[in-house]
Structure 1
Amino acid sequence: MDHTSRPAILPLALLGALTGMLSGLFGIGGGVILVPMLVMFLGFQQRLAAGTSVAAILPAAVVGGIGYAVQGNVDWIAAVALAAGVIGGAQLGSFLLSRVPTGFLRWMFMGFLAVVVVSLWFVVPQRGDEISMSVLNAILLVVTGFITGVLSGLLGVGGGVVVVPVLMFFFGASDLVAKGTSLIMLIPGSISGTIGNARRRNVDLRAAAVLGIAASLMSPIGSVVATHIPPFWSNVAFSALLAFILVQMLLTTLRKRGK
């Protein structure tokens, strides 16, 4: 898709609603769903899809984060530490986005999905777990945020697919606290990445607005549903969803190479 070809509002709104539901349910910005969907079904070029996704993440992250915060499922100190790293990382990621070949981005994204799918089977937290904060952990959270920000700007993912497993596995957070903290962290990352992408014309702001508004309407529902799903089955559902997307992207990529 080029900048003169604009997708209709209805498919964008439906995709945004799906993204918002999944965002609230799994604590992700939704880019891990949004980027491949924009590429496969709405004809976006990979680079433009990544930039548009980063912008669309913002409303869903704000509304979903508030939903988790109201339920007491946000570690604010961890969120601030992560956000401090995300802001700089997102700028670097958006800088690299305009310089990395599209084909490489696509394969990098698929490799990233594969790692997350596998990791989810090894990270099954308990609902009562909390993050033990120390100076070392605070520094590690900033580093995690920076790496997440780079991935966010480069791949168009909000970073929740990185942060949620990392908070559970390495920092001892419960699944709900990991999801809520992740959504709060995504807010500055989305703003920072979008500013960089807009300067480099790697974002469709009209599409991002439609996607983001629709997503923000469904995100609170997902955050409420998440509290009623056991952690193990939440991980199973998330890994199955990502595996489905990975297979679809792989098949699409192989078909294009075969032509």
Structure 2
Amino acid sequence: MNPFTNPLWAGLGTGLSGGLLAGLFGIGGGIVMVPLLGLFLGLDQHRAQGATLAAMLLPTGLPAVLQYRRRGVQTSLPLVGVLILAFLFGITGGALVANHIPSGVLRWGFASFLVYLSLRTFLRKEVSPVDRGEAPFDLQGQWTWGLPSGLLAGVVSGLTGLGGAMVVIPLLASKLRMTQHEAQLTSLMMLLPPIGLPGVYVYAKAQGGLPWLVIGAVAVGFAVGGFIGAHWATRTQGARLKQVYAGFVLLMALIVILRR
């Protein structure tokens, strides 16, 4: 049997890939797990997105968070709380809308969003802690930008199956003047609670259930990959990390476009 079509091995490989990206870039892993679940197991866009959200319900990003903290990267717990609160409202609405959009249209919209995100990330100027001054980052903007960032992240997560970090990281970096590492740690901490539960419920109900064996394998692979990815990220300069991130997002958009 081809290991790439075996649900267990395909799930483990998909989770490992998503975890590596989560540790490296602070994202939820959906950017790669959604296309790979469709490519290896033939899941349509809706089921792949629902399965990805379900795999992220467990605190699979904890090894990556601990690795960032061990390397001295800082963030704000109140900001994480604000992001989580707003995210929960946004993801329910996004998931409800997504299940009324044809799979083909949803796939092309997903790919278009990835292309936009890649260009936006590549053009963004990386913040230097030296230029920023003594303050760790703009704490006064936690509510001003935290609420809309979390809400938008939730809507995008429900629509596309991404963890929401695709929106949160660029906004935190540009609006709160966080470094790439700080924004990524904040994003990973936001994903530790089961904030995707409302979206998973909507997808599972609309699709008549989800592939739980695959989801379990994805979760295990993700935890392992997250630790390895975070180890690499904390040893890579923020500007270079941002460039690699932008290039990979563009590659994932191409995979989504080419998949039938």
Q: State the TM-score, normalized to the length of structure 2.
A: 0.87
Structure 1 counterpart SS, 2:192: helix
Q: Is the 8 A contact 1:124 1:231 kept in 2?
A: no
Q: Which consecutive segments of 4 or more residues in structure 1 shift more than 6 A? A: none
Q: State the TM-score, normalized to the length of structure 1.
A: 0.87
CA separation in 2, counterparts of 1:66 and 1:127?
23
1:1-259 to structure 2, matched below 5 A, reads 7-58=6-57, 59-70=59-70, 71-126=72-127, 128=129, 130-134=136-140, 137-188=142-193, 189-200=195-206, 201=208, 203-252=210-259, 256=260
CA separation in 2, counterparts of 1:127 and 1:60?
30
User: Against the structure 1 CA distance between its residues 95 and 202, is the aligned structure 2 distance closer, same or farther, given a 3 Å change threshold?
Assistant: farther
Total equivalences in the alignment? 247
Tell me the alpha carbon deviations over residues 193-245 of structure 1, each in whole angstroms, 9 at most, x when there is no partner: 22333343463222111101111122122112111111121111111111112
CA separation in 2, counterparts of 1:161 and 1:202?
26
Tell me the alpha carbon deviations over residues 73-132 of structure 1, each in whole angstroms, 9 at most, x when there is no partner: 332121111111101111112222221211111011011101111011122323525331
CA root-mean-square deviation: 2.0
- Structure 2, unaligned runs of 5 or more: none
- Give, in angstroms, the shift of residue 248 of structure 1: 2.5
Structure 2 counterpart SS, 1:193: helix
User: Against the structure 1 CA distance between its residues 183 and 125, is the aligned structure 2 distance closer, same or farther, given a 3 Å change threshold?
Assistant: same
Structure 2 counterpart SS, 1:60: coil
| Amino acid corresponding to residue 204 of structure 2 in structure 1 | A
CA separation in 2, counterparts of 1:157 and 1:145?
13
65-74 or 112-121: bigger deviation:
65-74
- Give, in angstroms, the shift of residue 184 of structure 1: 1.4
Q: Is the 8 A contact 1:29 1:57 kept in 2?
A: yes
- Give, in angstroms, the shift of residue 64 of structure 1: 2.4
User: Against the structure 1 CA distance between its residues 190 and 137, is the aligned structure 2 distance closer, same or farther, given a 3 Å change threshold?
Assistant: same
Q: Is the 8 A contact 1:97 1:153 kept in 2?
A: yes
| Amino acid corresponding to residue 162 of structure 2 in structure 1 | V
